[in-house]
Structure 1
């Protein structure tokens, strides 16, 4: 085993360990992170490194949380509890305010509703409370005509989906996730971290951008009332830093479905493995038609919030476009601002999860994921 790298890989996946070790060797001494992968429900990679890092250490995974939220949505669509082409108002009548009456669930879940935030912004307490976010968004005028464009609903999409789930089932999205996904598989991916698991949480740490990264950030100024500022709640007088959001015990305890999840890499990868593969003698959570539906690209092109090319399936990132073009069509998952990445590639059977403690720049999936994912995918195909 490479010094400093703990864990195991299955035969044929040695290149994944080599890529992980090569990356770690070039990082600062206090780097810590985890990498896990399954192929057709079999764990093939389980690695971790860093002082204090254990295989069950828990990290704030920011928007990788959205993958858990939309797996709940996918299950309810599969069962007919939710119908994608029904109007949101069928489940949530108050949503019709300010010209939103024609928005369908499909529009909403594919980031096309224009409800990226509030004119006045959210309070810190509201950002930890999906019900409060949803209640205020019901009265908000969309920032573009729904259905005409798309933009990343960074802090709002989980709350919007959660309110639809609550109206349709009488249960919160977090309760459905806990009862039907997390608990049956023993997943270390929590939407609401119990107090007794707090000792396993590793607080997210800052990392200054390199001079090259800072130059890019400085060259792309964002106005205080731009779509990006509104989506990330930066237009308020004292905005909450993303690091502080993840490190808030209130956020961890309530598990807001947009960015409040806490996980180990094993939990991220295990969830996506359970979604597409037989696990623990249980059939896949999703049937082939549902897998195809959630992985089908619903929104692609210029993202009005991210101001770059993006592709979304049904709530999930379409991770093969543009992040990992070597993955199969229909691969679906989500990354998080701190650098985490998780997804399923149904065509190869690969399920992947990655966490790190120090915030990666410029945000979203940390750059090292490209080589790690490529090695894992090549090994999966060869196996």
Structure 2
């Protein structure tokens, strides 16, 4: 089956509360037209999973199954951030302390923990040239970050930590606890919640991974950007081969916790509903109410130096900002998205979490028509019911 082509014969599977039937219809339509190749949708509301849908193809020779997982790019960041917030809630990390107080190799004492979480540390990427082998060697690439100078005054403005976000938090968590970020995520988050999300896919689960389909040509005209543009510096050092190496086991097995987490909408919504429900879901409390409120401490609010659009960053999550995310509702809402279109949105006012994960990528950094339509439909169903 050619990338992007429609498959009219594959139905949408799963469960859907009647009030959210428009979401099932939208997913079915997108699969039929080829807007989606394979995808999953989930909504948790008032502690109940009211939408758990999937359909399409994971690969040319395999349908998208109940347990298919897919790389969700930067949605991984909120999984890494949640893990760090849990450790902070337990007193193992102080959000207002210098990173260097835990990570002894980290040179610049001006950089605070919350600067890492809020993309204001000045460490948006690697200054020295880094190849793919170096990126996957976490100790090597983390040490490079620890020893370099920030690209701007820490804490003053955001510059999206596109790929290195997970490396920074892994260095922090490893220094503070003696265990890796992926181990802490597994034991503190995914395990207690029974959630099928992975920072580093285990060997036994590699066969369940959907293959990514690169976005169509277009998007940013990189030739028009000035040579010192920070987006260029973060994207090309190193360049990620979306339809090639990112679909291989060596990439999937390593925890690149800013970019290559694997899960599906069900597991994304399950984990993040902890936030939309005040720190606890199904009797499992991961965060205190006071730590949930720390998410809404604004770390930066303005044009991001890397993304080049206005973004309002709280602690570990983006907050409502119509200019960068027109379909994310206003209010006590925290969210983030992944390159190509995956997204998770936590609405604390309505006690709702919405998640979408797919394998066909769009030209999407913070917003795009396909993802926006899923969000508007989901929250429209919430408002109407």
Q: TM-score, normalised by structure 2?
A: 0.88
Partner of 1:373: 375
Contact preservation (8 Å) 2:159, 2:306: yes
- How far apart in 1 are the matches of 2:328 and 2:56? 30
Contact preservation (8 Å) 1:165, 1:172: yes
- How far apart in 2 are the matches of 1:251 and 1:36? 26
- How far apart in 2 are the matches of 1:320 and 1:172? 33
- How far apart in 1 are the matches of 2:265 and 2:143? 33
Change (3 A) 1:187 1:320: farther
Contact preservation (8 Å) 1:41, 1:279: no
What are the equivalent positions in structure 2 for 1:356-371 lying under 5 Å apart? 356-364=358-366, 366-371=368-373
Partner of 1:188: 196
Contact preservation (8 Å) 1:276, 1:285: no
- How far apart in 1 are the matches of 2:118 and 2:131? 25
Per the TM alignment, residue 243 of structure 1 is displaced from its structure 2 partner at its CA by 4.1
What are the equivalent positions in structure 2 for 1:102-121 lying under 5 Å apart? 102-121=110-129
Partner of 1:337: 339
- How far apart in 1 are the matches of 2:211 and 2:10? 25
- How far apart in 2 are the matches of 1:229 and 1:153? 12
Per the TM alignment, residue 328 of structure 1 is displaced from its structure 2 partner at its CA by 4.1
Contact preservation (8 Å) 2:214, 2:242: no
Per the TM alignment, residue 197 of structure 1 is displaced from its structure 2 partner at its CA by 0.9
Contact preservation (8 Å) 1:63, 1:154: yes
Contact preservation (8 Å) 1:6, 1:49: yes
Change (3 A) 1:55 1:120: same
1:221 aligns with 2:221: no
Per the TM alignment, residue 44 of structure 1 is displaced from its structure 2 partner at its CA by 0.6
Once superposed, which parts of structure 1, at least 4 consecutive aligned residues long, lie more than 6 Å away?
A: none
- How far apart in 1 are the matches of 2:308 and 2:182? 31
Per the TM alignment, residue 324 of structure 1 is displaced from its structure 2 partner at its CA by 4.2
Partner of 1:84: 95
Per the TM alignment, residue 195 of structure 1 is displaced from its structure 2 partner at its CA by 0.9
Partner of 2:138: 130
1:247 aligns with 2:247: yes
- How far apart in 1 are the matches of 2:300 and 2:46? 28
Partner of 1:155: 163
Partner of 1:312: 313
- How far apart in 2 are the matches of 1:309 and 1:281? 36
Higher mean C-alpha displacement, 307-316 vs 373-382: 373-382
Contact preservation (8 Å) 1:340, 1:366: no
Per the TM alignment, residue 223 of structure 1 is displaced from its structure 2 partner at its CA by 4.7
Contact preservation (8 Å) 1:34, 1:55: no
Per the TM alignment, residue 357 of structure 1 is displaced from its structure 2 partner at its CA by 1.1
Partner of 1:31: 37
Root mean square deviation, CA, Å: 2.4
What are the equivalent positions in structure 2 for 1:42-61 lying under 5 Å apart? 42-51=48-57, 52-61=63-72
Structure 1 gap ranges (5+): none
Per the TM alignment, residue 175 of structure 1 is displaced from its structure 2 partner at its CA by 0.4
Per the TM alignment, residue 133 of structure 1 is displaced from its structure 2 partner at its CA by 2.1
Q: TM-score, normalised by structure 1?
A: 0.89
